[in-house]
Amino acid sequence: MSLKLKNKFTAELPADENLENSRRQVLNACYSEVKPRKTSNPELIHVSPELAETLGFEKDFIHSKEFLNIFSGNKVVEGSTSYAMCYGGHQFGSWAGQLGDGRAINLGEIEHKNKSWVLQLKGAGETPYSRSADGLAVLRSSIREYLCSEAMYHLGVPTTRALSLVLTGDQVLRDIMYNGNPDYEKGAIVCRVSPSFLRFGNYEIFTARQDLDTLKTLLNFTIKHHFQHLGKPSKETYIQFFREVMERTLSMIIHWQRVGFVHGVMNTDNMSILGLTIDYGPYGWLEGFDFGWTPNTTDSQHKRYRYGNQPNIGLWNLYQLANALYPLIEDPKPLEEILNDYKSVFEVKSLEMMRSKLGLELQQEDDLKLVHELETVLQLSETDMTIFFRNLANLRKDDSESGIQVIEDAFYIPTDISDKIRQSWKSWLNKYKERLQEETLSDNDRKTKMNLVNPKYVLRNYMAQLAIDEADKGDYRLINELYTLLKKPYDEQSEYAKWFAKRPEWARHKVGCSMLSCSS
């Protein structure tokens, strides 16, 4: 097959008139034309057959030289225009000005079965938005992005996806810990796939520059192609657009909290307008349940993007988007109402989510108190979130002996569990069993329902690091094993039971297994 790409983004939006690939401020434009950098010796490490099928790719094409050339950046599809988007953003709470696709190059849109996806190469070379960087990515971060994108999809979390992982054959210089000791690493490229890669920052940049004509053009384009159901663009449509973005963002973060995912870099330039998880950098899953944990070394002091603060940051980012849209709406009241709704709706949805994790179908007045008490006792000692909720489903509500032994495997250091902590656990578990008495579901039916929302397997950082270490030696079997495992995260998969385990002690402080930098 020959790949055919559409070019709606470049055909309908204003382009950067300067065709030089030089770092600069790009004004009055939504994108700059740029071609991927040639790679010296590309090798296809892995491809997602499920996503390839969704895109309409034939098996022969996936394993062809043509596929490798396109998705390693060595060939631009005939008739298409590859480009990098212009956007700005608030980073760690401060306006950072122009940012843009500094190491991502969009190839165009593919259409199949009345759906459209943008294909984007991450790590394909410099663009006008690369600033002082080289626009490349390393194997380490590319493996993490590739595996996590697909893992999140199968967990049921709204996300961009990943089609392919390619080794470039080139060396990339990186200072992994920002400590003045750079070293060369293997370069790689991930093909990311999404209906759109538009972010909050795409709209912020034009308002910040008072370029309201381009802002309006981009917003109308967004509604036309991604929010068609809202009708023709108007002030009322813009308000409804903002409400839907709010709802999608809220839903995404509820899912993050459900599975214990911490994004790590919730800057406004990393917030998808479609409510998709985007830009997998220093992310991580909670090991020990801890509202204060962040996986990002850059955020280690202030912990702005910690697990427990993600809902608040979602709202803060929506305020920035509201400010960006305000000049086209000219009425603060509807925007304020939507932002206020976020707070109240989030409380309702969050409790609904926790009820589902606890296997509670009925709504009882004291459920919020039960949840808060659980969150308190979970933090009395280091308790693995994934293992705890998965094992809690084994509790028998009529068994007086059933209790703390059901969840003991989730404790990282059992010797830390003092008599006082054990008593706190027994007290909560008894309240939980009393609450279960009010439910009509049998223990087995409740377990089945709980296991649909509490995953058995997530991509723990140490697992990804093991795959990275093996891949660095040229062995990609663990990448495939983890990819296969994470396609069915809610299933028992007894053949992979070794991955249903707490983080090993050797990984507690190992680089790449605990906190990570943004270096890629």
Catalytic positions, written as ranges = 269
First to last CA, the chain: 33
Q: Is 89 helix (H, G, I), strand (E, B) or coil?
A: strand
DSSP 298: G
Query: Which of 72, 70, 62, 141 lies closest to 108 in space, CA to CA?
Result: 70
Separation CA 260–CA 119 (nearest Å): 28
In degrees and rounded to multiples of 5, residue 130 shows phi and psi of -75, -15
DSSP 136: B
Instruction: Say how many CA atoms lie within 13 Å of 348 toward its Cβ.
Output: 6
Taking each helix axis from N to C terminus, what angle separates 477-485 and 461-472, rounded to the nearest 10 degrees?
A: 150
Separation CA 461–CA 453 (nearest Å): 21
Length of the chain: 520
Separation CA 201–CA 210 (nearest Å): 14
Q: Is 59 helix (H, G, I), strand (E, B) or coil?
A: helix
Cβ atoms of 185 and 139 within 8 Å: the answer is yes
Separation CA 300–CA 319 (nearest Å): 24
Tell me the residue type at 420: K
Secondary structure (DSSP) of 3-14: ---B-HHHHHSP
Separation CA 451–CA 359 (nearest Å): 9
Report in angstroms the alpha-carbon separations of 207 from 26, 212, 297, 411, 507: 14, 6, 31, 50, 45
Tokens of residue 409, six digits: 């495997």
Separation CA 25–CA 210 (nearest Å): 15
Separation CA 519–CA 282 (nearest Å): 9
Query: Which of 11, 75, 20 lies closest to 42 in space, CA to CA?
Result: 75
Count of beta carbons in the 10 Å neighbourhood of residue 486: 24
Query: Which of 303, 266, 279, 308 lies closest to 291 in space, CA to CA?
Result: 308
Residue for token pair 């059933």: 402
Tokens of residue 56, six digits: 């309409």
